Chain A
Amino acid sequence: MSFSESQDLETATTAIQSQPDNKTRRYDRQLRLWAASGQSALERARVLVISASALSTSLLKNLVLPGVGHFTILDHHATRPSDIGNNFFLDPDASLGRNRAEEAVRLLGELNDGVEGHADTRDIADVLALGAEYFSGFTLVIAVNLDPSLVEQLSTLLWQDAACPPLIVVRSAGFIAEFFVQFHEHDVIESHSETAPSLRIDKPFPELLDHALQLDLEHMDPTDHGHIPYVVILVRALEDWKREHGGSPPTTTADKRAFKDAVSALQRHQDEENFSEAVANAYRAYTTTGVPSNVQALFDALPDQLSPARPFATLVAALQEFTKQPPYALPLSATLPDMKSDTESYVALQKMYGRRAEKERGVFRELVNKLSAETGSVIARDVVDLFCKNAHGLFGLQGKRWGDLDTSRERLVELLAASPRETATHLALSALSTWLARHSVAHAQSNGSAHPNSQTSNTELRPTEEDLLALVQGALGDGVELGKEVQDAVGEAARAPTADLPNVAAFMGGLVAQEAIKMITKQYVPINGHCVIDLVDTWTGVINA
């Protein structure tokens, strides 16, 4: 693991002085990823999963184990023999004939005493008829292999009202599957970005610059010379360079090489590892610190009018104000990476960065206060500080509605050319779901069951490849050629149209749970679009409307 992650954990749990309690010990391996703040978000979350299929229970297992607060399974079906065959959370000795949701909730509940589970045995169609209120009580809704007209109703309902939770739509057939996350906006402060914040060597703050200029490099004691942190060496070398070059930093390739040589020339002998580090990090001195592209994208997407309903936008606007002033960069980070040095010089440098970061945080707070006052927002100080600390890794995703992709033929054709296998798999799953819905209605009329997975005479419920190809052609328009990727995906869909394979269920259960955790904790970056998988050739891909 990287130690920066462990340091994050440390800041969240500074009070712990002796062996942690049982709960902390139980969750230790995940707290090292999302810390106490992520854990408490997870414990406050209420998740609704529609259907108690093998895929549904696989994904719920991955939320119950880490301690999600509450889950509800909505499913009105009785457990069939085939359900017990592929679902680890149905009991071969007891579940047959009983309601699937109740049985799955009982067995999932055994995994974690701290989690509340509830079975809702109503028909989803009846629940949908009652409106949005039921759904707004959840943090996240996940629909697994739901009839397309019901998904349409559900996604429309949840999209209309901003107070409604995000929706994850999951579909699978045999070896192929996909999921889509529907949300309006998703803001991430703690993305755990692997890109380290700038040390601003090119734009040193006054105290750092003074310190670097005061060093008497030539006459310094050999031990001290071998322990100057590389950051200080580079600040000094850059300043010396600029003095000799009319105030400009190295710009051309030749300049940069010459600068590197100049740094190298300062090294008294090869054992001075701090100077070797300075040479290796020389690029940091001539790379201009500006606003990173992920943050610039947030500035560009700022609305004309800030609203108290979305404090994140106010924080972004304040950050933009901050970057409009010298040194035209994000607030300095107090985190200093390890570098060759002695304890004293390193700790002194760390303190210098800490003081400056604190000062800039103060300036940022002022800007936030000013904007909040104008817009009527109330933003807690710890949120402002967290935002400031993570400024370099901020993300703001603008989501899409479920089904948007399929409304534009042009976009589908374009995507099919750009990402053929991913788009083909999406189209095959859409075609299959349309076909099953049409035929299960007809099937239900003669059979008394509306469930597409009804297995009383399952062999009848199989489309031919031609059936599905015709539907794909319909989605794309005539004249669009259906290549090998479409044939391959359609072939798999027709081969196993209602198969919820245990391994595919587990794979999807893991992927969807990862995204659910990211949505709930607002840490790490979730997908934006359709994540498509093919477990024949073992790949995943993401396409977006």
Chain B
Amino acid sequence: MAAVDVQRVNGTSHVGDWPDRYYHVDQVLDRPGPRTDPSFMAGDGVKDFLRNQCKILVIGAGGLGCEILADLALSGFKDIHVIDMDTIDISNLNRQFLFRPKDVGKPKATVAAEYVMKRVPGTKVTPYYGKIQDKDDDYYMQFNLVICGLDSVEARRWINATLVNLVDPENPESLKPLIDGGTEGFKGQARVILPTVTSCYECSLDMLNKPTAFPICTIANTPRLPEHCIEWASVLEWPRVQGDKKMDTDDPEHIQWLYNIASARAKEFKIEGVTWQLTQGVVKNIIPAIASTNAIIAASCCNEAFKIATSSAAYLNNYFMLIGTDGVYSYTFEHEKRSDCPVCGGESLEVSVPRSWTVERLIEMLVEKQDIQIKKPSLSTATAQIYFQAPKQLEEVTRPNLEKLVSDLVPDGGDITVTASSLPFSLSLRITYV
């Protein structure tokens, strides 16, 4: 049977295009709908932009990423870049449909890109096997749109802050719409972020599920749940017994060791329910994931990208969440920008602390507080260093401050600047005492 021919359409070269290839998509590009903005340029203009000019970046080639790449390619995006730092694991195969058992161990970005290019001819997918932090502003500047399909909060905060910082009011091209998706089991959400214009990822940090954290005294002294025994094995026993050896949660032997230790502890305390899979789930913080939910959320993200790139319909303003556990429930709403957002708000975050708090206690609060969540923060005022996590010498010099009272270092109403190596922005706290 003959392969479909590469054709020339309207005198422009569309590598891989054939008559009727875009029969479906063109129906919404050839004419507006009742709710389409009047500025929509139906027909060849918009098709040319979508297929020949628009450059889109996909962050993540996992559960959402595989779906996103396929959807974008079929929608007619021809210049797609994808970044992912992971390699393929067997547990990816129940949903990451561009991978096969023979691909286990290979980089996700590379395998996904090749597969999509094979199945959707004429699409160029450029993979990068590495971290988003490896790339600079010039790299991100080249794209028209960015779609994020990540499971890491840290990485999303990084790309969000990077794209907000990229905005130059003098240059409209510098505003890169960021579309972000996430799933957990039968639930998920998709959102459109116009950096500096709409609410950003950081603005909504308090909407995240609170990570399950067990107090160390429970783990050490009064375990009640199998999870407590597993945490005891991984947090306390591993460093005590294994010393400096790094725990690798992808190594089955390490999980086996933790499982054995946790089981022994559970037996000692007559606690039931420690299993291999629960051990793995707790130490890797596994979130259940299925193909269908990823398909919904990825499609929603790509649909917004398609609408933004073509103006064929209004795009999402700005948050869509879906719950599929009990019927199909969804909620579309506008998430409000926070004026004290450390990334896009400009105002300091008001924090009131007891006068009795030490610097160490304040740091503990910054790590835990739902709308801040900064791991390893470094603190300073306009005139003095309070505590720095790195470099080593600076840490040693500032360490004695940990035990000092915040109120001895910062006046009432004074500002503290918080930075962390994982985040490309600083947080300004206005301290008041209670």
Contact = CB atoms under 8 A, between A and B. Distances in A.
Contacts of B11: none
A506 B295 contact: yes
Interface in B259-278: 269-271, 273, 275-278
Interface in B324-356: 324-328, 330, 332
B322 interface: yes
A497 B18 CA distance: 22
B276 A17 contact: yes
A110 B19 CA distance: 28
Contact of B277 (A10, A61, A110): A10
B3 A96 contact: yes
Contacts of B212: 3
Interface stretch (A200-208, A379-387, A509-517): A509-517
A245 B1 CA distance: 88
Contacts of A239: none
Interface stretch (B50-58, B70-78, B168-176): B70-78
Interface stretch (A26-34, A359-367, A412-420, A440-448): A26-34
A450 B186 CA distance: 38
A525 interface: yes
Interface stretch (B157-165, B284-292, B362-370, B405-413): B284-292
B34 A487 contact: yes
Given A1-B287, A65-B291, A85-B20, A538 B33 contact: no
A15 B421 CA distance: 44
B293 interface: yes
B22 A85 contact: yes
Interface in A448-467: 455, 458
Contact of B276 (A16, A93, A174, A342): A16
Nearest to A351: B270
Given A65-B94, A80-B20, A175 B328 contact: no
Contacts of A30: 94, 288-290
Nearest to A507: B299
Interface in B17-63: 18-25, 27-28, 31-35
A285 B230 CA distance: 33
A524 B296 CA distance: 18
Most buried by B among A85, A93, A455: A85
Contacts of B31: 495
Interface stretch (A125-133, A296-304, A527-535): A527-535
Contacts of A509: 292, 295, 299
A81 B4 contact: yes
A405 B75 CA distance: 34
A96 B2 contact: yes
Contacts of A458: 23
A84 interface: yes
A227 interface: yes
Contacts of A142: none
A155 interface: no
B306 interface: yes
A13 B277 contact: yes
Nearest to A173: B27
Interface stretch (B195-203, B220-228, B373-381): B220-228
Interface footprint category on A? 35 or more
A192 interface: yes
A511 B296 contact: yes
B121 interface: yes
Nearest to B327: A527
A504 B299 contact: yes
Contacts of B153: none
B292 A6 contact: no
B131 interface: no
Contacts of B226: 7, 10
A33 B288 contact: yes
Contacts of A3: 212, 225, 227
B405 to A, nearest CB: 21
A54 interface: yes
A455 B121 contact: no
A72 interface: no
B23 A62 contact: no
Contact of A19 (B185, B256, B271): B256
Given A96-B1, A538-B316, A495 B304 contact: no
Contacts of B295: 58, 61-62, 506-507, 509-510, 513
B74 A495 contact: no
B397 interface: no
A537 interface: yes
Contacts of B97: 61, 65, 111
Contact of A347 (B1, B94, B269, B290): B269
Most buried by A among B121, B212, B278: B278
B4 A96 contact: yes
A417 to B, nearest CB: 21
Interface string B89-133: 011011101001000000000000000000111000000000000
A175 B28 contact: yes
B418 interface: no
B320 interface: yes
Contacts of A227: 222
Interface in A192-230: 192-194, 227
Interface string B274-317: 01111011100011111111111111101110110000011010
Given A17-B276, A513-B295, A97 B20 contact: no
A422 B16 CA distance: 39
Contacts of A341: 222, 224
Contact of A26 (B25, B27, B91): B91
Nearest to B280: A28
A496 interface: yes
A134 interface: no
A538 B303 contact: yes
A524 B280 CA distance: 25
Contacts of B269: 343, 347
B371 interface: no
Contact of B90 (A22, A81, A517, A531): A22
A62 B292 contact: yes
A272 B173 CA distance: 57
A29 B288 contact: yes
Nearest to B25: A501
Contacts of B298: 506
B286 A1 contact: yes
B286 A28 contact: yes
A223 to B, nearest CB: 11
B282 to A, nearest CB: 8
Most buried by A among B293, B298, B304, B324: B324
29 contacts: A9-B278, A10-B275, A29-B91, A29-B289, A54-B24, A54-B74, A81-B20, A84-B4, A85-B22, A85-B25, A88-B70, A98-B1, A112-B93, A174-B27, A227-B222, A343-B224, A347-B270, A488-B33, A488-B35, A495-B32, A496-B24, A506-B67, A507-B295, A507-B299, A510-B293, A510-B299, A511-B324, A514-B186, A537-B314
9 A-B pairs with the lowest CB-CB distances in the bound complex, closest first: A510-B295, A491-B34, A510-B296, A82-B23, A506-B299, A502-B74, A507-B299, A496-B27, A513-B292
Given A25-B91, A88-B74, A538-B332, 16 more contacts: A11-B273, A62-B290, A67-B94, A85-B25, A87-B74, A92-B4, A110-B100, A227-B222, A495-B28, A499-B24, A502-B71, A502-B74, A502-B302, A503-B299, A510-B296, A542-B327
Interface of A: 1, 3, 5-7, 9-11, 13-14, 16-20, 22, 24-33, 54, 58, 61-62, 65-67, 80-82, 84-88, 91-98, 110-112, 174-175, 191-194, 227, 338-339, 341-343, 346-347, 455, 458, 487-488, 491-492, 495-507, 509-511, 513-515, 517, 524-528, 531, 535-542
Interface of B: 1-4, 16, 18-25, 27-28, 31-35, 67, 70-71, 74-75, 90-91, 93-95, 97, 100, 119-121, 184-186, 190, 212, 221-227, 252, 255-256, 269-271, 273, 275-278, 280-282, 286-300, 302-304, 306-307, 313-314, 316, 320, 322, 324-328, 330, 332
